[in-house]
């Protein structure tokens, strides 16, 4: 299992010359090329998204706490659990989609959003070398719209109306946003084996967030299972019913596209 962190569990068949050139990790030719595609423009976008996202999180959290009542507790707990489950499923859906379909060559989304997924399979520990901005910038972008909508409600609705009509729902949405925002940070922690805070390792050990051993299963080539990376709670049941495989068969039957073709292309680069 330790090798799963360094590269796919099933190596591609290469001749001796190719094997000498092709290494999983930062020295892999594909990994170097993909890392070089991280641009100043992308960095600026991530900075803007992180600053705006966490400003809105702080604003909305303050308003939710001001509206909190003890009688809301059961619904808040239900909202936390539901938010974690749905965030886990959505993380799997996005992860599966970006891993399985599309290409780095696609306009706009290719270099900006698909590129990190291709790099991650060739160099799984690259994410541990990314700082907070690079790790979380894209997730912050995704959660901006619901955060802005929540902030708008807090600015335009009366406290009474919010408490009666919106509070339990907004708590659920806020928990979903928090889990979604921190999904890639949780993913990064699942690849980090040294220096994690004790509270993070406890959450991993209790399976509140994605455990390290659990996520290793995904990093066995050809990376076709255990896509959920927020809590990992849904990985086993989705695998048991063949959810991702059935979805891939359906899309391949409709489009003729082969799953993970672009992922394999980058893995096979040796120069």
What is the pLDDT tens value at each position of the chain, 271 positions in all? Answer: 333 344 433 333 434 443 334 445 656 766 677 667 778 999 999 999 999 999 999 999 999 999 888 888 898 899 999 999 999 999 999 999 999 998 988 888 888 889 888 888 888 888 999 999 999 999 999 999 999 999 999 999 888 888 776 778 888 999 999 999 999 999 999 999 999 999 999 999 999 999 999 999 999 878 899 999 999 999 999 999 999 999 999 999 999 999 988 877 777 765 5
Dist. CA 117–CA 262, nearest whole Å? 11
Give the long-range contacts of residues 163-168, CB within 8 A, separation 24 or more: 163/67, 163/69, 167/64, 167/67, 167/69, 167/72, 168/72, 168/75, 168/76, 168/79
The contacts found for 201-206 with CB under 8 angstroms, 24 or more apart, are none
Tokens 């900075």 belong to which residue? Answer: 47
d(CA 121, CA 99): 9
- Whole-prediction pTM: 0.85
């Amino acid at each position: 299992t330790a090798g799963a962190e360094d590269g796919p569990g099933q190596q591609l068949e290469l001749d001796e010359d190719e094997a000498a050139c092709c290494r999983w990790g930062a020295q892999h030719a594909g990994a170097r090329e993909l890392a070089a595609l991280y641009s100043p423009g992308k960095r600026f976008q991530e900075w803007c998204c992180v600053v705006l996202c966490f400003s809105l999180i702080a604003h909305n959290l303050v308003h939710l706490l001001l509206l909190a009542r003890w009688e809301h507790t059961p619904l808040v707990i239900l909202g936390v659990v539901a938010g974690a489950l749905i965030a886990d499923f959505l993380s799997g859906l996005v992860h599966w989609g970006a891993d399985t379909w599309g290409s780095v060559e696609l306009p706009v989304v290719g270099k900006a959003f698909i590129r990190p997924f291709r790099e991650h399979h060739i160099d799984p520990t690259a994410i541990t070398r990314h700082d907070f901005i690079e790790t979380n910038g894209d997730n912050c972008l995704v959660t901006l719209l619901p955060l802005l909508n929540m902030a708008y409600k807090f600015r335009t609705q009366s406290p009474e109306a919010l408490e009666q009509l919106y509070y339990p729902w907004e708590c659920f949405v806020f928990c979903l946003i928090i889990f979604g925002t921190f999904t890639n940070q949780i993913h990064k922690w699942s690849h980090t084996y040294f220096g994690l805070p004790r509270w993070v390792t406890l959450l991993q050990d209790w399976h509140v967030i994605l455990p390290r051993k659990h996520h290793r299963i995904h990093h066995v080539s050809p990376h076709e299972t255990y896509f959920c990376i927020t809590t990992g709670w849904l990985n086993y049941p989705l695998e048991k019913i063949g959810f991702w495989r059935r979805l891939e068969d359906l899309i391949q039957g409709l489009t003729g596209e082969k799953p993970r073709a672009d992922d394999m292309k980058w893995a096979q680069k040796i120069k």
